[in-house]
Amino acid sequence: MAGARGLSVAGDLLAATTLALTLQSTGAGGFAVSGLLLAGVSPLVVLAPLTGRLVDRVDSRRLLAGVGVAQAGVCVLLAFTTAPAAIIALVALIACGLALTQPTLAALLPAMVSRDELPRATALAQTMSSIGALAAPVLAGVLAGQFGPRVPLIVDAGFFLALAAAGLLIRTRRAAAVTGDAAARAADTTPFRYWRDPLLGAITVAVAGVVLGVGAINVVAVFYLRETLHASTTAYGVVEGLWAAGLLAGTWATARLVRRMRDDGALVYGTLAALAGTCLAIAAMAAVPALLWVTPLYLLGGLCNGGLNVQQNVLVARRVPAESHGRAFAILVGWVQGAGLTGYALAGFLLELLPPRTLVLALGVAGVSVAALVAVPIVRAVRRERATGPVLAAV
């Protein structure tokens, strides 16, 4: 299952990176590249209510296999498409598939392992996603540079076919119609209320707020590191890689800690601390006099980011009924992706108004402020829950 998640992420990014390079090299312009990136993310946000319901109702093996084959077919079409508008439309179709596979794989994980093993399994899945996210842009650059865009897109089709095969090999199956679970079928007809859970609601809003800032930082950092701190292209790549290295370390370290947390309240506090730590690392970057001082802060930011990823997924899996996991993870993915998309757009606007160093400080402080604002209702909700019992995301 973790391998399937890595294939899904790698396939999506391989196509997006290859096509972004293609549009840029053919002189399509910034609007075309922006449209491509928007098409690759917006379906995850817009389709979240629909995809979550499908994930909870349709056999997960059929869903993964069918979507993987469809995405492979779209990649083959992309390999022979040159019109920017058609390319953007086909990328949106691939993203529609990702909007289905991401919550499907996230919902499968709690069904495949025990409660005690869930943090470790989540860490493994996050690791494979990170590997896919790191490898895909490199592979796209090498293959597109050596052979042109057609070869990496055909390779990408192979990735999606491998995802389809992995879906068929996963023995665990979800959806009440497949399992024959009468209780699950009854629950599926009951209205689902993700936001009824005060802890989930507050943490989701906080995570989205921080992701908005991190998304903006991904754009601002290019100018801050290259122009303000005078990093070479090689140094820039190395520094960016440190965030990923910290993320992987944080993922596994947090997985061990989560198993020792006595209740969901401790898990929520840990998530809040990871949010604040990520933003403090970003804010501190604004004070560095030279590039070398950024390296420990990138490691710290990635470490907290990895801890955040594990804890938020475990929290959703624990607090949402199993038959509603698809809808819950679709909501989480939609909010996170939507916030990241907003951050990208906001960064382009802000860079026209403020210098990069000022923006780094402002975005970091804004993220810490979001964490502080939600801390008060979160502490109250945890105390109330410990006194009276949990209010879970169900009617």
Any idea which of 129-138, 238-247, 285-294 has the lowest mean pLDDT? 129-138
Give the pair of three-digit tokens for residue 241. 């890689």
Question: Which tokens sit at 208?
Answer: 């989205």
- pLDDT band, residue 93 (cuts 50/70/90): very high
Helix then strand then coil, in percent of the chain rounded to 5, is 85, 0, 15
Q: 182 falls in which pLDDT band (50, 70, 90)?
A: very low
pLDDT bucket at 5, cuts 50 / 70 / 90: low
∠ CA 134-137-139, rounded to 5°: 100
Distance set, CA 381 to CA 122, 199, 339, 389, 394 (Å) = 25, 7, 24, 10, 17
The class that CATH gives domain 194-388 is mainly alpha
The closest alpha carbon to 82, from 15, 34, 155, 150, belongs to 150
Least confident of 185-199, 211-225, 264-278: 185-199
> CA-to-CA distance for 233 and 371, rounded, in angstroms?
33
- 3-state SS assignment for residue 337: helix
Comparing 336 with 185, the larger pLDDT belongs to 336
- pLDDT score for 216: 84
Domain assignments of the chain as residue spans, ordered by start: 2-188, 194-388
What's the mean pLDDT when you consider all of the chain?
A: 82
pTM: 0.75
| Phi, psi of 285, rounded to the nearest 5 degrees | -60, -25
pLDDT band at 210 (very low <50, low <70, confident <90, very high): confident
What are the tokens at 378?
Answer: 């979160």
Tell me, what's the pLDDT at 395? 37
pLDDT at 360: 93
Q: Which CATH class is domain 2-188?
A: mainly alpha
Same fold, 2-188 and 194-388: yes
User: 29: which 2 tokens?
Assistant: 């312009």
**107-120 residue pLDDT tens:** 888 888 777 788 88
Residue 364: pLDDT band (50, 70, 90) is very high
pLDDT at 256: 85
pLDDT above 70: residue 190:
no
Other C-beta atoms closer than 10 Å to the C-beta of 218 total 15
Out of 26-30, 228-232, 310-314, 326-330, pick the least confident: 26-30
Confidence of residue 24 (pLDDT cuts 50, 70, 90): low
The CA radius of gyration of the chain, in Å to the nearest whole number, is 21
